[in-house]
Chain A
């Protein structure tokens, strides 16, 4: 809406003033002072409405003098004969000045409101773009470009915190030629900003200054101190440092209040954009892991099948040879069993490590767990003594656990005890409820765990020094036991047994008996 140039406006309104003055001076005798004042006022208002404050004030001043000189006697001088005319003259001056001011302020408000509306529109478009952009980095490029153009600077970069370092994710504009040779990219200062989460500037003379949060507030003088060429703004998403916004210009960066507010809003977008890039990367990585995991599972299933089937043949053939009196064939059969067990253990360990062991925690009886473990141990107990210790008259001990996995934990602990204790000693298993836990203690008279190795024994493939190479197992038993126990809210712990030996305690969450309607079912 500005087809007329500023000079044209000035000329036009001055001409209007001259013509009006001439016209009125011709009719001076017929006109009242009020008519003159009113006509001049109309001119002043018209001038300030179209030409702004400067035109309005100039017209008011000129009108004041011509009113005084031409229309208040004595004519041709600035003197005023009738003292009451001063009142008219001053009233005119004050009215026109106040009117000009009011009019202009209203206009400025309108302009500012329009600007703000424009910014909001731009922000909303940008927001939509940010959310829509197929590739997360494209949204950041759009944000960088909007910031660059809105602030009218040469370049805008968005850098993201990636691990220990900063990576340039998006850029708009070119590095100002004069400054690129200097160290005005301010890498060190940018890292500092990322580390501390505070804004900073670098000036044309390479000095830098740190600001504080809230620098965007209207009237904050920080940004206006000196010839600022680089402005660094930390990007925070949910109070977490995610990156840095770097703005560079070949001349001094000056931001008026609206631009600052705009920059603050845009830095939120930039922070969210950076966060989105990070989340996309995380999601992609998770998907890659998932695929790798699915592949691993398929591989494991195939391997276990393809390994166990030939092992069956090997075992059967070895058995036939052994039946024919071949002593070596018996070893082949045993080794085939060991290998099979090792495969199972490795599979379990990989499942536990991947947190993929299926757990069915249900109401189960402690005696069931002990009985099933005993059944599973089968032949291993033929020549060894396992004594189960339960307090006399103990009620039915119940817990919430996965029976299958708990059997494996207990079997592993008992097997360990059998393996590491002399063949003529008894292994004891005590079962008791302790508060809200069921405790299964496996006690042996073996050598115990060497001092300082308490925490090592749960490491896969750990075996105490001096273990016979044919002790069986590969040192996975305790690692698996602990993994399986913890996956169902239980624990496995070791203590030295008084009088020599080990106590391994397997704890599980205890439970109370359910109420059953069949009243005669009580024991």
Chain B
């Protein structure tokens, strides 16, 4: 680990895909460690202490969800999952198990590189994005520490629930939070129709923060999975 270069661990049983990912990431100045099975991958994660793990779900020895959980037991290293299945259920399960992002096959190399960069940048920005300086996006200013939101210089009034929801999303900038994760954080115990509540509150937030709720740029929907706050609207 020389002069602070990022290390990425690739866990994939397909040598060809491993090679492609390695070539693409090395070009970005990243050190790559490879593993071809889940067990090997968990060992490598312990040993190499990577800044990011790219995990393929079609591993011969272990379920991808199990790998996520195993890593999460002792590490908060971001995990980017690659999957051939295009199901929202699977994506939700993986995010709930601690994965940070999810890319479906067949993916494009540029897309994957962008996602890897975003994850690495976020790791560097820790501990809490916006913890010190307010987040500024377009005409919006969100001061997490002082619980103040301004739009075009004018203070926006948020209810406590709306603030909790926004806070949760903003502090996980760029990362999709599942319905369950959001609901547990904001409401705690589930009562009534959690999905319905969540949707209505998001709609309210959008009306207060977005120019056009039919074309949101900050509070994005990951259909069937959850929501994410995106301070870089260009990454749509």
Contacts and interface: CB of A to CB of B under 8 A. Distances in A.
Interface of A: 301, 304-305, 308-309, 311-317, 319-320, 333, 336-337, 340, 344, 358, 360, 362-365, 367-368, 370-372, 374-376, 378, 388, 390, 396, 398, 402-404, 407, 431, 513-514, 516, 518, 520-523
B193 A319 contact: no
A225 to B, nearest CB: 72
A316 B17 contact: yes
Binding site secondary structure of chain A? helix
A360 B199 CA distance: 14
A514 B20 CA distance: 50
28 contacts: A301-B85, A304-B84, A305-B58, A308-B105, A308-B106, A309-B106, A312-B105, A313-B20, A315-B107, A316-B17, A316-B24, A319-B110, A360-B224, A362-B199, A363-B193, A365-B200, A371-B213, A371-B221, A372-B221, A375-B221, A378-B236, A388-B212, A388-B214, A388-B215, A396-B200, A404-B88, A407-B223, A514-B196
Given A309-B105, A370-B214, A523 B223 contact: no
B57 to A, nearest CB: 9
Given A301-B85, A371-B215, A404-B223, 14 more contacts: A308-B105, A309-B17, A316-B17, A316-B24, A316-B108, A363-B195, A368-B202, A371-B216, A371-B221, A372-B223, A375-B236, A390-B214, A407-B223, A513-B200
Contact of A516 (B107, B109, B197): B197
B180 to A, nearest CB: 14
Contacts of B220: 371, 375
A134 to B, nearest CB: 42
Contacts of B16: 313
Contacts of A319: 108-110
B183 interface: no
Nearest to B58: A305
Contacts of A313: 14, 16-17, 20
Nearest to B104: A308
A313 B197 CA distance: 42
A336 B17 CA distance: 16
A367 B17 contact: no
Interface string B74-105: 00000000001110110000000000000011
Contacts of B215: 370-371, 374, 388
B222 to A, nearest CB: 8
Enumerate the 8 nearest inter-chain pairs by beta-carbon distance, A residue then B residue, closest first.
A404-B224, A363-B196, A311-B106, A312-B106, A308-B84, A308-B105, A305-B84, A316-B20
